[in-house]
Amino acid sequence: MDNKKIAIVYDWIDKWGGVERVLIVLHEMFPKAVFYTSYFDKKNASWAKNLNIKTSFIQKLPDFIKKSRIFSLLFYPIAFESFNFNDYDIVISVSSSFAKSIITKPNIKHFLYLLTPTRFLWSHHNDYFKNNFITDFIFQYLKKWDLVSSQRPDSVISISNKVKERAKRYYKINSKVLYPPFDFEHWENVKIKPSTFNNFYLVVGRLENYKKIELVLKTFNRRKDYLIIVGKGSLKNSLEKIANKNIVFYSDLKDEELAGLYSKAKGLIMPQNEDFGYVSLEAQFFGCPVLTFKESGASETIIEGKTGFYFYKQTVKDLLSNLERFDKIAYNLRSNLIVGKGKSLLFFDKKRFIKEFIKIINL
């Protein structure tokens, strides 16, 4: 692949999370690749400082527009359709919304690594627009545009079977499945910073509606043990206001601190209908079992009854009853993970991802 000119396109480089770990692996695979994105937030995405990044005109917009998904919504289609990729042999888009809409010439191969069909238009619309921030006209326009743009890639790779199902349902396209890479070497070298908490459950994720953090919070308002919530987002203040004293919030933790929480938590709770759920792999690596919503892509990361447990309804009542069951077997689940020493995670190994990804784009 050394003689191939490669571009990598991502929706926005403005934070750190599971998807951003995928971008780092792609950079390792293709160190000469140029990254294209709508805008780059150097402060909140300092991990990307060594990437060769080209941004769209959105980079020059005022912050109150650029950093608001609502105010900048109609700019994104124009931004990504304006990029020119004529000098490249291969373009890889990594997208949960707009990056897949790039336009390439027939002789340039465009591979889409699909994180999910655009959530706010399809699977999670009500979670994003409870208060009708956009008119029905704009919503319908974007939905039609998104459907058209989804047909542009030459090949689509979904990050999970859940995303593959969504791609088929909403976009009418078939896709391969390649799970995101888990970097064993990175996590093996992380020095665990012990947590001062005991007897607690853990939630790790962005504090946004679609993550269903409020469901877990309301559940633990009815329990006595601790719940630690790690993350930040637009709902942080409102969640803190309704949380009882047994619920603790953290943000911007280092991997050492996260490892310490995973190592002592009774379990990681994933209440959302997740696309994949990278944090589930992190938790299991450090011996922390996972309680996840069955319909979520995160359910593909655990072995029920051995490394985790499912619940079936996103209600306080159902989560409470399943936590009672989980309490009884949490020790055994943790023992299975510790004895297994990460063997259940080998299917998600970074080396396997690299090998399979190279095989796909060489077709």
Q: pLDDT digit string (tens) for 22-51?
A: 999 999 999 999 999 999 999 989 999 999
What does the pLDDT average to over 166-172?
95
Residues of the chain with CATH 3.40.50.2000: 184-347
Greatest pairwise CA separation for the chain in angstroms: 61
Residue range 62-88: mean pLDDT, rounded: 88
Task: Tell which CATH architecture fits domain 6-178.
Answer: 3-Layer(aba) Sandwich (3.40)
Which residues, including other chains, have CB under 8 Å from residue 151's CB and lie 6 or more apart? Answer: 171, 173
Q: In what order do the strands lie in the sheet with 34-37?
A: 53-55, 34-37, 6-10, 90-95, 109-114, 155-158, 176-177
Q: In the chain, what percentage of residues exceed pLDDT 70?
A: 95
Average per-residue pLDDT in the chain?
90
Pick the CATH number of 184-347 from 3.40.225.10, 3.40.190.10, 3.30.70.940, 3.40.50.2000: 3.40.50.2000
The pLDDT value given to residue 71: 79
What's the pLDDT band for 68 if we cut at 50, 70, 90? confident
**What per-residue confidence (pLDDT) applies to 124?**
62
Q: Does the model's pTM come out above 0.85?
A: yes
Helices (H), the chain: 18-29, 63-66, 75-81, 125-128, 136-149, 161-166, 184-188, 213-220, 236-242, 255-264, 278-285, 316-340, 350-361
What is residue 92's three-state secondary structure?
Answer: strand
